[in-house]
Amino acid sequence: MYLSNVDIKFLPGVGPKKADLLLKELNIRSAEDMVRHYPYKYIDRSRFYYLHEISENMPFIQVKGQILTFEKVGLGRNQRLTAIFTDGKDTLELVWFQGVKFILEKYKTGITYVIFGKPSFFNGKFNIVHPEMDLPSQLPPVEQLGLQPFYNTTEKMKSGFLNSKAVQKIQQSLLPYLQSGVPETLPAYVLKKYALMNLTEALINIHFPKNTNALNKARQRLKFEELFYVQLNILQQTKWREQNLRGFTMKRIGHFFHTFYNNHLPFELTGAQKRVLKEIHEDIGSGKQMNRLLQGDVGSGKTLVALMSLLIAIDNGYQGCLMAPTEILANQHYETLKSFIGDLGVTVDLLTGSTRPKAREKLHAGLQSGELHIIVGTHALIEEVVKFKNLGMVVIDEQHRFGVEQRSKLWKKNVQPPHVLVMTATPIPRTLAMTLYGDLSISVIDELPPGRKPIQTYHYYENKRHALNGFIYKQIAAGRQIYVVYPLIEESEKMDLQNVMEGLEYFRETFPDFKVSMVHGKLKSAEKEYQMQQFVSGITQIMVATTVIEVGVNVPNASVMIIENAERFGLSQLHQLRGRVGRGAEQSYCILLTGFKLATETRKKMEILTRTNDGFEIAEADLQLRGPGDLEGTQQSGMPFELKIADLARDGKMLEIARNFVLEILNDDPNLEKPLNVILSTQLKKLKTNSVNWGIIS
Ligand code: ADP
Ligand code: MG
């Protein structure tokens, strides 16, 4: 009996309607999908808590004790009932907003009850709102109450009578299938090596844990399985590529590189830039195709590394391209490269959506004849009509804006795939990089060019705005420029846009001596360009904007970044925005403005940002605070299947173990052909066919 063959609608208590809901809401089709829908939490009814153990953020707990007094508070609709509850030593308040009369009739003081609920902290003390209350005699013994599973459901499911309890019932009906044994998905030698629970037991215990220990073992097993297959998937592809794809060999360091290095380079390379260039040179000289992620904080000098890599390609007789996610950025890169290159004799041109047909024709011809060495551009580069004589090196800036698919389209622009260098200023924590970009080699620029003053970051409440204006005035009077960034998200787009407009008005009125630009995503691209250009060239001194300015824009004269409603941005995004300043020689500042009422998490964000400028530390903290699901880039990443139980923020160690083990297995049996590994290729195939298509979702 295979659970994957059992249609969910034939299970007791399901039927076509609920089956439909399960499919639409949770992508659950078969009984197997169902048993792989794990609880997201468990409530421990296996023990009683003491009131002195209660702390903030605790899950549901149960306490045994008595009610000392009842008190009715407020009148009419606002009336509520409170009770003082004691476990014999300490007290806790119980609160009811409804059913006051019923409660007073049913429950009495001086009788021992078991109360169950989620404690919250209010007005300096703990309370439980609408607790479940039972006489101890009404409950089964504690040992049998055990761990109660809770399942994720959606609003639609709830209104379709599919709450967590209902899901639990369905799982219950599947228990006999599980107990008769399910086919194992990991080879016996893997289970043995890490003393993992077998799949049958793990599935039983994840839904119906015997005790905490068994639950932990079940979770370990299922997490390991997930991480193992994610790594197997990535690394098998990498192995395949290594074995089957040759890369252009670019050993030579020739005329262009040397001349540039000796005569054009306006400053000394940083140690990190030198190291990374060496890594790249070794890689592209090896005969293998390079797929490399270049990570480096904003301002660390990635563009220069890109250019020098392209020069090596040209020295070896190839062409190169540099792709950026926006027109503004592509323009900027083009200008930067042109000025670096000067009279070196390397030809470079720009292709974006705004390139005129005439210019396009000329450019296409140049690429095909090989006269044009480097082309900088946007997505326009991917189009079919763009053909190269001999494309050898592709550089992609700001990776997270591009999908894996777009990357691979550029690959196909030559018979043999070109080398690919992906650059990102969003530092990615190690565990995430191993998963999302596990197929890429990684280089890191972890050093800023000398002479940069670290940006000073301050967190202000909104009422400090006036004081801030004096500071802004002084900065601009001293010749600097200012960014003011507002959040804008789709859900509240109208209001957000209004805030940006009001911001524009506010700054115009407050600083009549200065000129203000405004850029947001709703502007026509020509208008955006114009506004941006006004700021870049220093005609305007204040730039009011949404996050469209987040990526890559370089205005070294801008020294102040003010972020409005900073609480609404993610940690990494705030860091990215901050990176727009601090690019010149002057001291730069970042001001985070928030309201007074802040969630604990937001406070933490502000604390981290004011303390450190280290992008990797911030990325790591972001991962811990938000979990990987929300991190930018996750949607477009190469994740073959979603993680249901493993957590990249917490399970980094296990991920590493799984990865190393997978490497061992693949080194020994790259195509997974050995009999004891057949189970691996079968399961991997199955996972991939069932997988969600991330490309479609994002
Ligand atoms: P990012 O890594 O954010 O793309 P850029 O490549 O835009 O950084 O570099 C930021 C600035 O630092 C540019 O003005 C660049 O010319 C300058 N720069 C790059 N490398 C060095 C260096 N080794 N020494 C001094 N300045 C440098
Ligand atoms: Mg850049």
Residue range 659-692, pLDDT digits in tens: 999 999 999 999 999 999 999 999 998 888 765 4
Highest mean pLDDT of the ranges 36-45, 364-373, 376-385, 640-649: 364-373
Burial, 231: exposed, middle or buried (Cβ in 10 Å; 0-12, 13-18, 19+)?
buried
Ligand 1 atom index nearest CA of 296: 2
What is the CA(349)–ligand 1 centre distance, in A?
21
Range 165-187 average pLDDT: 93
Percentages helix, strand, coil for the chain (3-state, rounded to 5) are 45, 15, 35
Q: What angle do CA 640, 644, 645 make, to 5 degrees?
A: 125
- CA-closest residue to ligand 1 atom 6: 301
176 Cβ partners below 8 Å, 6+ apart? none
Highest mean pLDDT of the ranges 188-202, 604-618, 648-662: 188-202
Q: Among 272-276, 587-591, 646-650, which is the least confidently predicted range?
A: 646-650
Contact 484, 503 (CB under 8 A): yes
Q: What is the pLDDT of residues 229-243, one digit of tens each?
A: 999 988 988 888 878
What is the CA(484)–ligand 2 centre distance, in A?
20
What is the CA(449)–ligand 1 centre distance, in A?
7
Ligand number with the minimum distance to the CA of 268:
1
Ligand 1 atom index nearest CA of 336: 16
The Cα 280–Cα 443 span in angstroms is: 8
- CA-closest residue to ligand 1 atom 5: 301
Contact 97, 127 (CB under 8 A): no
pLDDT of residue 693 exceeding 50: no
Ligand number with the minimum distance to the CA of 326:
2
What is the CA(301)–ligand 1 centre distance, in A?
3
What is the CA(311)–ligand 2 centre distance, in A?
18
Contact 378, 352 (CB under 8 A): yes
Taking each continuous run of H as one helix and of E as one strand, the counts in the chain are 25, 22
Ligand 1 atom index nearest CA of 445: 2
- Best CA proximity match to 557, nearest among 539, 573, 572, 575: 539
pLDDT of residue 633 exceeding 50: no
**What's the pLDDT band for 508 if we cut at 50, 70, 90?**
very high
Ligand 1 atom index nearest CA of 303: 6
- CA-closest residue to ligand 1 atom 1: 299
pLDDT of residue 634 exceeding 90: no
Range 544-562 average pLDDT: 83
Report CA torsion sign: 486, 489, 491, 494: positive
pLDDT of residue 149 exceeding 50: yes
Q: Which residues line ligand 1 (CB under 6 A)?
A: 267, 269-270, 273, 296, 298-304, 425, 449, 554, 583
Residue 448's pLDDT is 86
Ligand number with the minimum distance to the CA of 269:
1
The Cα 513–Cα 515 span in angstroms is: 7
576 Cβ partners below 8 Å, 6+ apart? 298, 425, 426, 550, 551
**What's the pLDDT band for 637 if we cut at 50, 70, 90?**
very low
- Pocket perturbation via mutation, ligand 1, pick of 275, 295, 300, 304 by most ligand atoms within 8 A of CB: 304
440 Cβ partners below 8 Å, 6+ apart? 291, 292, 293, 422
- CA-closest residue to ligand 1 atom 17: 301
What is the CA(425)–ligand 2 centre distance, in A?
7
Report CA torsion sign: 398, 404, 408, 411: positive
Range 452-456 average pLDDT: 87
Q: What is the pLDDT of residues 31-71, one digit of tens each?
A: 999 999 999 888 777 788 999 988 877 777 889 999 999 99
- CA-closest residue to ligand 1 atom 24: 449
Q: What is the pLDDT of residues 567-618, one digit of tens each?
A: 999 888 899 899 889 887 789 999 999 998 888 889 999 999 999 988 888 8
Range 14-22 average pLDDT: 93
Residue 692's pLDDT is 43
What is the CA(259)–ligand 1 centre distance, in A?
19
Ligand number with the minimum distance to the CA of 427:
1
What is the CA(422)–ligand 2 centre distance, in A?
11
Ligand 1 atom index nearest CA of 267: 24
What is the CA(403)–ligand 2 centre distance, in A?
18
Q: Residue 378, Cβ neighbours under 10 Å: how many?
A: 21
Q: Among 59-68, 128-137, 400-409, 468-477, which is the least confidently predicted range?
A: 400-409
Q: What is the pLDDT of residues 319-372, one digit of tens each?
A: 999 999 888 889 989 999 999 999 999 999 999 999 999 999 999 999 999 999
What is the CA(333)–ligand 2 centre distance, in A?
8
- Pocket perturbation via mutation, ligand 1, pick of 268, 270, 276, 303 by most ligand atoms within 8 A of CB: 303
The Cα 184–Cα 200 span in angstroms is: 7
Ligand number with the minimum distance to the CA of 336:
1
Ligand number with the minimum distance to the CA of 554:
1
- CA-closest residue to ligand 1 atom 23: 269
Range 401-407 average pLDDT: 59
- Pocket perturbation via mutation, ligand 1, pick of 341, 550, 554, 575 by most ligand atoms within 8 A of CB: 554
Residue 47's pLDDT is 82
The Cα 246–Cα 417 span in angstroms is: 8
Question: What is the residue-averaged pLDDT of the chain?
Answer: 88
What is the CA(554)–ligand 1 centre distance, in A?
10
Question: β-strands 542-545, 481-485: how paired?
Answer: parallel
85: helix, coil or strand? strand
pLDDT of residue 114 exceeding 60: yes
Query: Percentage of the chain with pLDDT > 70?
Result: 93
Q: Among 108-112, 263-267, 431-435, 485-489, which is the least confidently predicted range?
A: 431-435
Residue 405's pLDDT is 60
